[in-house]
Amino acid sequence: MNTPTQLFIVPTPIGNLEDITFRAIRILKEVDFILAEDTRTSKNLLNHYGIEKKLISHHLFNEHKTIENIVERLKAGAVCALVSDAGTPAISDPGYMLVRACIQEGLVVECLPGPTAFIPALVNSGIPSDHFIFEGFLPHKKGRHTRLTALANEERTLVFYESPHRLVKTLTQFAEYFGEERRASVSRELTKIFEENVRGTLKELIAHFNTKPVKGEIVIVVAGKD
């Protein structure tokens, strides 16, 4: 028999509330407590599915402090789930440090498969998805130039997270570093009412998004170097 899991990493919807698995809902109902990036956001989500469970705050700014206490509780026999505001925890969200600490202590960790924004964006892009690298958010200032320079010769498809107010600036920088004819795709508001997937060269995308203020959540997919 498998050793019972002590920490479940549970992906939650990135927009459409139907995008949660039966198993995720069962686990959230069964655990002793849920660690949440933002307890108010997760409370709304749990209410939607009729789940009543104790929520404990676990975010970027307190994870260093809370990990030791969580690990002790799990070692004493508790079972918990980690959720983030949207998508899969530990993917551009808190989670990695807790997973590492649990593994180091010999605790059993299990990540459920489920929603994450970069997979639908990659597949929707029509750009090769057999080999890709996930870059998440680029550094805003320090290290940005170094990262972009390193990526200019990358042959695998590149996937980035970006905020709407930086989109045009970032696309313009991509055009400078990768060339304006490089193919790319911008996925906005995935799974939501106003989902949009715009595909074209970087030059075309800059022209498209320069015409109106951009809102919502964004994934940028860029073809690798030919």
Which chain residues interact with ligand SAM by CB under 6 A? 14-15, 84, 86-88, 91-93, 116-118, 161-163, 187, 189-192, 217-219
CB of residue 83 to ligand SAM, shortest distance in Å: 10
Amino acid identity at 83: V
**Minimum gap (Å) between residue 121 Cβ and ligand SAM:** 6
* CA distance linking residue 226 with residue 224, whole number of Å: 6
Q: C-beta of 3: minimal distance to ligand SAM in Å? A: 27
Of the candidates 178, 174, 137, 130, the one whose C-alpha atom is nearest the C-alpha of residue 156 is: 130
Based on CB atoms, which residue is closest to ligand SAM, 134 or 177? Answer: 134
Closest separation in Å from C-beta 180 to ligand SAM: 23
Nearer to ligand SAM, 78 or 112 (CB): 112
Judge contact between 36 and 23, C-beta under 8 A: no
Among the listed residues 101, 113, 160, 111, the one whose alpha carbon sits nearest the alpha carbon of residue 135: 160
Give the Cα separation of 160 and 50 in Å (integer).
Answer: 34
**Cβ closer to ligand SAM: 78 or 168?**
168
Q: What is the smallest separation between the CB atom of 160 and ligand SAM, expressed in angstroms?
A: 8
Using the minimum distance from each CB to ligand SAM, give the nearer residue, 89 or 224: 89
Q: Are 124 and 185 in contact (CB under 8 A)?
A: yes
- The residue (of 151 and 159) whose beta carbon lies closer to ligand SAM is 159
Q: Are 110 and 7 in contact (CB under 8 A)?
A: yes
Closest CB to ligand SAM among 25 and 78? 25
Residue 32 or 110: the one with the smaller Cβ distance to ligand SAM is 110
Q: Which helix (H) or strand (E) holds 162?
A: strand 157-162
User: In degrees, to the nearest 5, what angle opens at C-alpha 123 toward C-alphas 117 and 129?
Assistant: 110
Q: Which residues are registered as beta bridge partners of 35?
A: 56, 82
Least separation in angstroms between residue 95's CB and ligand SAM is: 8
Least distance to ligand SAM, CB of residue 159, Å:
10
With tokens 């970087």, the residue in question is 202
User: Where does residue 193 fall: left (phi above 0), alpha (psi -120 to 50 degrees), or beta otherwise?
Assistant: alpha
